[in-house]
Amino acid sequence: MKFPCRLEKFLSHVAEMPRSKVKINIKKGLVTVNGNVVKKGDIQVTPADHITFDGNRLEYLGLRYYMLNKPQGYVCANSDELHPTVFDLIEEPNLKDFHVAGRLDIDTTGLVLLTNDGDWSHQITSPKKQKFKTYVLESRDELTEEALTQLEQGVELHGERQATLPAKAELIDKFALRLSICEGKYHQVKRMLAAVGNQVVELHRENIAGIELDPTLAKGEYRPLTDEEISIINAN
């Protein structure tokens, strides 16, 4: 949310009120700004203003950042007609202008970052920034040294003109791999494994640009990022 903004917008966002109700409540004299009843919704306000509705202070909560350990079966979208979304797992007020900084497929688990700070998430998702994301995957077939080298050097994905950028691959066991990539193409990890004749059976994200999934978070749990985690994005 950008400030200054219209009082109507502030109320509909912070009080999670439909615009039609906002107008009615303003007309009824239920809204005050800095101690004065206000009858016009188009005045400009900022978070520094003392705004009340029906006697209660309304405060803009500012920029917020959360990490979620995403379980399978949830989609990374603000709403979905068929499936629950990651936002169904976040019990916080005013999530209206939140978004996911780097989506995961419905069947992928692990680290998802959610924020209402568009500039911050741009640092993560912009292809130009080439931030590394680390995944652990289980494969259908045994992983060969040759496949690892190919994945690291770059593979051609079906339907793409350019090969994938250099990646880091570390064998965990014959059927498990830790793969770090600095791009975010559609189904990229699954397509990379397909490009070397294998298939991803399970996929889990453990790190985004240096932010590690907190191992104390059970599947479906979330927590706010620390100040240090928020600023790691600028370093990596």
- Specify the residue, 49 or 152, whose C-beta has the smaller distance to ligand URA: 152
CA–CA–CA angle 140, 144, 148 (5° rounding): 100
Rounded Cα gap, residues 42 and 6, in angstroms: 5
- SS3 (DSSP) at 80: coil
150 binds ligand URA (CB under 6 A): no
Fill in the per-residue mask, 61 to 90: x = in contact with ligand URA (CB under 6 A), - = not in contact. ------------------------------
- Specify the residue, 49 or 183, whose C-beta has the smaller distance to ligand URA: 183
Report CA dihedral (16, 22, 24, 29) to the nearest 10 degrees: 100
> Six-digit token pair at 43?
């005045």
Q: Which of 90, 236, 108, 2 is nearest to 99 (CA)?
A: 90
Fill in the per-residue mask, 165 to 204: x = in contact with ligand URA (CB under 6 A), - = not in contact. ----------------------xxxx------------x-
Rounded Cα gap, residues 83 and 71, in angstroms: 13
**Catalytic pick among 80, 105, 117, 141:** 105
Residue of 32, 71, 95, 105 that binds ligand URA (CB under 6 A): 105
* Smallest distance, ligand URA to C-beta of residue 107, A: 8
Residue of 12, 108, 115, 164 that binds ligand URA (CB under 6 A): 108
119 is an active site residue: no
